[in-house]
Structure 1
Amino acid sequence: MIRSLRGRLFAGLTAIILLTGLAGGLFAHHWAFNEAIEMQDSVLIQIAGLVQSGSLTGGRELHGVDEDAEVWLIDQPAAPQAADDGLKQLWSLKDGLALATRKGQPIRVLLGTRLDGTRFAVAQRTSVRDEIASDMAFRTVLPIAALIPCLLLVTAIVIARSLRPMVRVADDLDGRRADDMTSLPVAQMPSELNPFIASINGLLQRVRLLMDQQRRFVADAAHELRTPITALSLQAENLDPVDLPVGARDRLSALRQGIRRTMHLLEQLLALARQDAGSPDEATMPVVALDRVAKEVVAEALPEAVNRSVDLGFARVEPVAVRGEAVMLAAVVRNLLDNALRFTPHGGRIDACVYRDGTTAILQIEDSGPGVSPDEIGRIFEPFFRGQRPEGDGVGLGLSIVRRIVNRLGGSIDAVNSAEAGRTGLRVLVKLPVSADRA
């Protein structure tokens, strides 16, 4: 069963064209065949008229009166009884057109009588007549047969052009970001698609309202929870000078760790809500030196790397400018470094790279951790995904925030497991458009 609308239209119109062409071809062949037979009868009548008027004379049998049509002129012998059986049957017929047999072959014959009373016959083999008629009929049908493929090609082109607006709408939807809920254009669209586009626009508006409500809820909830969590953190800090038993001190440490993790979650939720608040105008965004931002963030992360005995530094750094807020770019580098530090073991290594490749700015962070399993590497940019080996106080939002910032800046991000020279780890590659202006 054909599910494609284009396929259904083409199959239906193809069937109509073929059936119409077949019926028209059969009718044209039959009509042309009969017309050719009538024309050959007219040739016999014209030759008979010439013979009857005396303009054309011959002996007993004059062959080649019309060589192309193989027409014979036969005179009746003076003694009809001396003729063979075939001629006896021929001369027994009345004047006019008739069918007869001569020498075992069917013929079409026209018998006539001259003014002096002698009889004659103009004959032609039926096989020759049929061959000539068939050839003329075939030549008549040939243009119809040649026209059918042309009609099929034109039909395919018309269907493709007619469905092109639907393809453009599909391409528009496929090329959008996940948070782009702008309405589809209705202007330059066929009127038949207007109800369909109106329904999609209505759905996009409803989804946008739901997403806005969700963003506001997340931002409000995170903001409201910051005050009590901060108060709990201060109370836990106030318990440090108090002389507590070992068991109580352990429970206090677990409480403070939980508070820090909750505070980190709230900060990440607020950052996520800020990134989802709206799309910036690329023309109004400032030009920022990506290499300078990366150097500052790496310098901030060095103390933590030293505490973990991790070798953190640049493997390659080049001046390159991009459009975007410095805070947003710093959040990208910081979250990537936090993720790398969390999974890199003691004595490991983290290499950062910032360079330009044509019109693309490259930011690469590669660690020497265990990497990500092939089943999970496609999900690491999903919110709250921590995988089967969660480490530290992470909540699974850092890489999701990075991807949303990169998408807003018109870039792309990808993560692959690296295995070079016996070294394992995760390599995250961020690509951003290079700005033509200087930072």
Structure 2
Amino acid sequence: MIKSLRGRLFAGLTAIILLTGLIGGLFAHHWAFNEAIEMQDSVLIQIASLVQAGSLTGGRELHGVDEDAEVWLIDQAATPQASGDEARLWSVKDGLALATRKGQPIRVLLRTRPDGTRFAVAQRTSVRDEIASDMAFRTVLPIAALIPCLLLVTAIVVARSLRPMVRLADDLDGRRADDMTLLPAGQMPSELHPFIASINGLLQRVGLLMDQQRRFVADAAHELRTPITALSLQAENLDAVDLPANARGRVVALRQGIGRTRHLLDQLLALARQDAGQDDTRAMPVVKLDDVAKEVVADLLPEATGRGVDLGFARLEPALVRGEAVILAAVVRNLLDNALRFTPQGGRIDTCVYRDGDAALLQIEDSGPGVASAELGRIFDPFFRGQRPAGDGAGLGLSIVKRIVDRLEGTIEAVNLAEGGRSGLRVLVKLPGADA
């Protein structure tokens, strides 16, 4: 069963054209064949009229009457002792008839002169049929040649008619996930207007739901920061209080929980800001991605050293991109935080920043356990931590990175390292390069 609308239209129109061409060809062939037979009968009648008027004499064959035809003029006076086929011929009444002469079927026209003698003008049926078939074939030939042209025109018309739908699909496929711009209906065929109106209505509803979700996340995170800050201050005030050892251990756990909660709220606010950001990338300032990476690595170096992880650059080259230094720093920090969280003591994290053609690349490799193959496609989903979560992360860091990279019109991919017996994860961020 053909599921393509274009295929259905083309198959249906092809069937109609072929069926119409076949029926029309059969009728045209039948009509042309009969016309050719009638025309040859007219030739016999004209020859008989000439004989009747005395312009031609009997007893001979007439060649050249038609290009491929042979017509015999048979006079009864020249064959008075007729027998067999010719005897039966003279028994036929005047007019056109089918007869046999010398064992061959013929078309014959018999006439009687005023003196009572008779003559016949005859033509072989096989010659007549051959001439008629040839003329009928030449009549049908243009129709047969026209059918492939009609099929080609039909394919072109169907393709051009469905081109607006293809453009709409390409427009939707090329959009970012958060782009809820309405589809244009002005230049589209009227048959697509109900479909476009339905899609635009759906986009409006989805956009409204997304705005409500963003506002809720931002408002909830913002409102929760005040009580969390108050709790943090109260926990810090407990440092000056003389507490028993077991109570002081509980205060430490309390402060760690408050810190994790504050970090989660900061991540939620960052996620909400990225979802709400709709700035044009071309209007953003030019930033040195290598300088941003150096600053972030310098900030995280003490933490990496404390964990026994070798953090550094394997390749550092000048690379300019358009963006804000703050959000680019968030990309590098979140990726390095994720790598630090999964890299064991004694491991290493290699950072690379370089230019490749028109793109600026940021690559981070760690020597951790990597990510399960089934989970590799989900690590950029919000709140996804996988089957082997490490540390106190909320599963938002990589999601924020993905939102920022999409906003900057870049790409990000993660692959497990498998060469040389190594293990770990490689994350490659590719951003459009900028000129100084």
TM-score, scaled relative to structure 2 = 0.95
Q: In the alignment, which residue of structure 2 is the partner of 1:50?
A: 50
Q: In the alignment, which residue of structure 1 is the partner of 2:143?
A: 144
* 1:119 matches 2:118: yes
Once the two structures are superposed, the pairs formed by residues 226-241 of structure 1 within 5 Å of their partners are 226-241=225-240
Q: In the alignment, which residue of structure 2 is the partner of 1:39?
A: 39
Alpha-carbon shift at residue 249 of structure 1 (Å): 4.0
Is the partner of 2:225 in helix, strand or coil? Answer: helix
Q: In the alignment, which residue of structure 2 is the partner of 1:341?
A: 340
Q: Give the whole-Å Cα distance in 1 for the aligned partners of 2:245 and 2:75.
A: 143
Q: Contact conserved, 1:65 with 1:73, CA < 8 A, in 2? A: no
Once the two structures are superposed, the pairs formed by residues 69-84 of structure 1 within 5 Å of their partners are 69-78=69-78, 80=80, 82-84=81-83
Q: Contact conserved, 1:362 with 1:430, CA < 8 A, in 2? A: yes
Q: In the alignment, which residue of structure 2 is the partner of 1:408?
A: 407
Q: Give the whole-Å Cα distance in 2 for the aligned partners of 1:78 and 1:320.
A: 113
Structure 1 residues 209-241: Cα deviation after superposition (integer angstroms, max 9, x where no partner): 211111111111101111111222222233345
Q: In the alignment, which residue of structure 2 is the partner of 1:29?
A: 29
Q: In the alignment, which residue of structure 2 is the partner of 1:361?
A: 360
Alpha-carbon shift at residue 242 of structure 1 (Å): 4.4
Bigger shift: residues 191-200 or 132-141: 191-200
Q: Give the whole-Å Cα distance in 1 for the aligned partners of 2:347 and 2:76.
A: 121
Alpha-carbon shift at residue 65 of structure 1 (Å): 5.4
Change (3 A) 1:79 1:423: closer
Is the partner of 1:264 in helix, strand or coil? Answer: helix
* 1:321 matches 2:320: yes
Q: Contact conserved, 1:70 with 1:124, CA < 8 A, in 2? A: yes
Alignment-mate amino acid for residue 189 of structure 1: M
Structure 1 residues 33-85: Cα deviation after superposition (integer angstroms, max 9, x where no partner): 110000110111222233333333353x42635461122222225563x3231
Identity of aligned residues (%): 82
Q: In the alignment, which residue of structure 2 is the partner of 1:399?
A: 398
Bigger shift: residues 23-32 or 232-241: 232-241
Is the partner of 1:276 in helix, strand or coil? Answer: helix
Alpha-carbon shift at residue 331 of structure 1 (Å): 0.5
Is the partner of 2:424 in helix, strand or coil? Answer: strand
Alpha-carbon shift at residue 151 of structure 1 (Å): 1.1
Q: In the alignment, which residue of structure 2 is the partner of 1:189?
A: 188
Q: Give the whole-Å Cα distance in 2 for the aligned partners of 1:57 and 1:350.
A: 117
Alpha-carbon shift at residue 247 of structure 1 (Å): 4.2
* 1:431 matches 2:430: yes
Change (3 A) 1:78 1:290: closer
Q: Give the whole-Å Cα distance in 1 for the aligned partners of 2:16 and 2:237.
A: 88
Q: Give the whole-Å Cα distance in 2 for the aligned partners of 1:70 and 1:396.
A: 99
Q: What is the total number of aligned residue pairs between the two structures?
A: 435
Structure 1 residues 147-181: Cα deviation after superposition (integer angstroms, max 9, x where no partner): 11211211111111111111111111111111001
Q: Give the whole-Å Cα distance in 2 for the aligned partners of 1:19 and 1:71.
A: 40
Once the two structures are superposed, the pairs formed by residues 17-416 of structure 1 within 5 Å of their partners are 17-59=17-59, 61-62=60-61, 64=63, 66=65, 68-78=68-78, 80=80, 82-114=81-113, 117-416=116-415
Q: Contact conserved, 2:368 with 2:424, CA < 8 A, in 1? A: yes
Change (3 A) 1:68 1:435: same
Alignment-mate amino acid for residue 53 of structure 2: S
Q: Give the whole-Å Cα distance in 2 for the aligned partners of 1:78 and 1:390.
A: 120
* 1:7 matches 2:12: no
Q: Give the whole-Å Cα distance in 2 for the aligned partners of 1:418 and 1:54.
A: 109
Q: Give the whole-Å Cα distance in 2 for the aligned partners of 1:149 and 1:78.
A: 57
Q: Contact conserved, 1:77 with 1:83, CA < 8 A, in 2? A: no
Q: Give the whole-Å Cα distance in 2 for the aligned partners of 1:305 and 1:184.
A: 49
Structure 1 residues 360-379: Cα deviation after superposition (integer angstroms, max 9, x where no partner): 11111111111101100000
Structure 1 residues 124-164: Cα deviation after superposition (integer angstroms, max 9, x where no partner): 12222122111211111111111112112111111111111
Q: Give the whole-Å Cα distance in 2 for the aligned partners of 1:235 and 1:79.
A: 143
Q: Give the whole-Å Cα distance in 1 for the aligned partners of 2:283 and 2:58.
A: 105
Q: Give the whole-Å Cα distance in 1 for the aligned partners of 2:405 and 2:255.
A: 33
Structure 1 residue ranges without an equivalent (≥5): none
Q: Give the whole-Å Cα distance in 2 for the aligned partners of 1:58 and 1:196.
A: 82
Alignment-mate amino acid for residue 100 of structure 1: A
Alpha-carbon shift at residue 244 of structure 1 (Å): 4.4
Q: Give the whole-Å Cα distance in 1 for the aligned partners of 2:77 and 2:297.
A: 125
Alpha-carbon shift at residue 117 of structure 1 (Å): 4.8
CA RMSD after TM alignment: 1.8
Q: Give the whole-Å Cα distance in 2 for the aligned partners of 1:231 and 1:75.
A: 134
TM-score, scaled relative to structure 1 = 0.94
Alignment-mate amino acid for residue 394 of structure 1: G
Q: Contact conserved, 2:58 with 2:119, CA < 8 A, in 1? A: no
Q: Contact conserved, 1:65 with 1:72, CA < 8 A, in 2? A: no
Alignment-mate amino acid for residue 406 of structure 2: N
Q: Give the whole-Å Cα distance in 1 for the aligned partners of 2:79 and 2:133.
A: 39
Q: Contact conserved, 1:362 with 1:432, CA < 8 A, in 2? A: yes
Alpha-carbon shift at residue 122 of structure 1 (Å): 1.4
Bigger shift: residues 49-58 or 373-382: 49-58
Is the partner of 1:279 in helix, strand or coil? Answer: coil
Alpha-carbon shift at residue 393 of structure 1 (Å): 1.1
